[in-house]
Amino acid sequence: MKETLLVLRQEILSSLRRRSFQLTAFGFPLISASIFIVASFFTRSSPDTVSDILNPVQSREEKPIGFVDQGGLIRTLPENLPEHKLPSYKDEAMAQEALSLEEIQAYYVIPGDYLETGRVDYVSGEFNPLDTFTKGSLINEVLRINLLEGDIHLANLISRPFLLQVMIQNPSTNLGDGNPLSFFLPYGVMLLYYILILMSAGFLVTSLNKERENRVLEIMLMTITSRQLLAGKFIGLGLIGLLVNLLWVGTGYALLIISGNTFQLPEEYQLGSHILLWGGVYFLLGYAVYASLMGAVGAMLPNLRETSQATIVVIIPMIFPLLFISVLIENPNGLLAVGLSIFPLTSPVTMMLRLTVGDVPLWQLMLSVFVLLLSAVIIVIVVARLFRAQTVLEGQPMSLRKVYRMILGKV
């Protein structure tokens, strides 16, 4: 036990001293906080620049658009449109003068024969090719109301014949449809845990291969057993990974809560505190499984370069949830989502996505955790045998028969 604690302490201290680890662990929270502060500043000084992207509101104050009604059709304006927003001019000369004085940005001319031709002229002081598509909506609403003799309610019904109200008896998600965050929030959570688990597992593989290449590992195994060495490294680097997880996820969670007020995010996009709890559980179990698998690959290959290339095969299962991200978000309680969240090689990231999207039955969470824990224990035992046997067989060519004997502990 004492030897294991010494290895654990050494791994933690050496990791904390590395500049690369300091940049990885603390760089993301600092950069995220800096971006948030800058975005908050611009939101307060000019709200339309940031918050309107997530919650579109009325555009900034613009100069009004006037109109010249040569046929005397317009007698009523919409209730939500003050007169100064659409000033009336007796003739086109007065409207042209107001345009030249920059009192208005443009004006409409409704000819006397409008009822026969349906033509309306739009005169602007600046050329904008989009005016044809964007500037006709205002006068369109005004004319529709007046052609219906000022009946605003009837005009609204003609414009929007019905208001569709969707009622879902068995909602599968808690996120609102139609908002980009309904996709990007769960996708971001899944991608975050994908990076955290694989990055932390990579810490163990890198440490083992470097010490094996410079022969430090052989010296250490003269005084301690391979199981003590692996346990110390496994737990120590797991704690380091957990520290990174707390810093990254904690920062993201805090910024998401604060942004609810800053960017006026809807309530359903404020993640519950249970995300942090289950996130810690699935991170540790996911780390245990993938660190062990990568360690097994490292035990059978001679150097870090070949190990890095071979670990691509190990992480392939983690890619499957990313490939089916849209299906998982649209149907988080479907057969595919449940299967991927119980299968141990995909459950860490898939279950975090499901927890972000909606509620997950407790029995599925318990079953997923049990399968992950059992898989981690079995893989750790196998890796310890592979590591011990590989050290004994250092320099000898590897074969499937030897790997089989190593797994059974007969080497």
- Model pLDDT, residue 178: 53
Of 289, 276, 281, 278, the residue nearest 198 (C-alpha) = 289
Q: Is 214 exposed, middle or buried (0-12, 13-18, 19+ CB in 10 A)?
A: exposed
Domain 65-159, CATH number (from 1.10.575, 3.30.300, 3.40.190, 1.20.58): 3.40.190
φ/ψ (deg, to 5) at 316? -55, -45
| The pLDDT value given to residue 172 | 47
Sheet containing strand 65-69, edge to edge, reads 88-89, 65-69, 106-110, 121-124
Residue 19 is predicted with a pLDDT of 83
Q: How far is residue 68's CA from residue 350's CA, in Å, rounded to a whole number?
A: 61
* Amino acid 162: pLDDT: 58
HSE of 376 in the Cβ direction (CA atoms, 13 Å)?
A: 21
Task: Give the domain ranges of the chain.
Answer: 65-159, 175-407
Encoded tokens for 359:
């509620």
- pLDDT score, position 356: 85
Question: DSSP alpha helices (H): ranges in 51-151?
Answer: 51-54, 92-100, 114-117, 131-134, 136-147
Please count the other Cβ atoms lying within 10 Å of the Cβ belonging to residue 247. 17
| C-alpha 394 chain-centroid distance | 44
Give long-range contacts, CB 8 A cutoff, 24+ apart: 94-101.
94/68, 95/66, 95/67, 95/68, 95/123, 96/123, 98/66, 99/66, 99/123, 99/125, 100/125
Distance CA 72, CA 309 (A): 79
Residues 6+ away with beta carbon under 8 Å from 239: 8, 12
Work out the angle at residue 336's Cα, subtended by the Cα atoms of residues 335 and 337, and round it to the nearest 5 degrees: 95
pLDDT tens, per residue, the chain with 411 residues: 777 788 888 888 888 888 878 888 888 788 877 877 776 665 554 444 444 444 444 444 578 888 999 888 888 877 777 767 788 898 999 999 998 888 888 899 989 888 888 888 888 877 665 555 556 677 887 888 888 877 777 766 676 665 555 454 554 445 555 556 677 778 888 888 888 888 888 887 777 777 767 777 667 767 777 677 777 888 888 888 888 888 888 887 777 677 655 445 555 556 667 788 888 899 889 888 888 888 777 666 656 567 667 777 888 888 888 888 888 888 888 899 999 999 999 999 999 888 888 788 999 999 999 999 998 888 877 777 776 655 544 544 445 555 555 555 554
Please report which helix (H) or strand (E) contains residue 89, including its range.
Answer: strand 88-89
**Phi, psi (rounded to 5 degrees) for 109:** -120, 115
| Per-residue pLDDT at 84 | 74
Tell me the pTM. Answer: 0.57
